[in-house]
Chain A
């Protein structure tokens, strides 16, 4: 099925560092979402973006909806150990009958040894 290109695939973080990840698509979306998934759990929504150029924050998380509507990024500032997990971007086009999300392959955050 269709997927988004998400990078990096994995990264190691040290407490206090800032983290950036991004997602690109060949298709336009009218909605971009960022999720976090912990082991053994389903994804949990972090941030939702609805307008090109929109910049939205949720605590230490900041995400932007690219002006081309084909990309989005997520920043995590001053990372803490509980930030480890897998982060997914997802795109959707809402307004019609379609209800599903298109997901990236995820960015795995781990703690630096």
Chain B
């Protein structure tokens, strides 16, 4: 499809395990964002990639969280040694550039449950 896709759509893991969440942005979009949405909460910014620039990691809640973007396209968000409080929906968005916020297109999210 033409939109942002994320996989898996749902993930259940045990506390202490590592998880990888994947985001396929819209082709040609140079900006990519990760957000976290906890139950009943708004979206919390995690990390932002813009082209070849160093990513803005200011929203990552701890050093257990990391993200990569390979070849300026696909991105992977990794959570190491998962905790129950990591349970949330992880949303990815992409934009043609980082200069116009209205053009962030969101994927359907990955629902993570840590038991």
Residues of A within 8 A of B (CB): 1, 3-4, 6, 31, 33, 40-45, 48, 88, 90, 92, 94-95, 97-106
Determine whether the beta carbon of B59 is less than 8 Å from that of A1: yes
For the complex of A and B, list the 8 residue pairs with the smallest distance between their C-beta atoms, beginning with the closest.
Answer: A42-B106, A103-B42, A99-B98, A48-B102, A100-B45, A103-B43, A92-B101, A105-B42
- Is B70 engaged at the interface, CB distance under 8 Å to the other chain? no
Of A40, A48, A103, the residue contacting B44 (CB under 8 A) is: A103
**Which residues of the partner chain B approach A43 to less than 8 Å between Cβ atoms?**
43, 91, 106
Which residues between 86 and 115 of chain B lie within 8 Å of chain A, taking CB atoms?
91, 93, 95, 98-102, 104, 106-109
> A41 vs B107: C-alpha distance in the bound complex, in angstroms?
7
Determine whether the beta carbon of B101 is less than 8 Å from that of A94: yes
**Which residues of the partner chain A approach B43 to less than 8 Å between Cβ atoms?**
43, 88, 90, 101, 103
**Known pairs A31-B102, A100-B35. 4 more at Cβ < 8 A?**
A88-B43, A90-B43, A94-B101, A100-B59
Residues of B within 8 A of A (CB): 4, 31, 33, 35, 40-45, 48, 50, 53, 56, 59, 91, 93, 95, 98-102, 104, 106-109
Identify the closest chain B residue to A10 (Cβ). Answer: B40
**Which residues of the partner chain B approach A104 to less than 8 Å between Cβ atoms?**
42
Of A1, A3, A88, A99, the residue contacting B31 (CB under 8 A) is: A99
**Which residues of the partner chain B approach A105 to less than 8 Å between Cβ atoms?**
40-42
Of A3, A40, A44, A100, the residue contacting B33 (CB under 8 A) is: A100
Determine whether the beta carbon of B42 is less than 8 Å from that of A6: yes
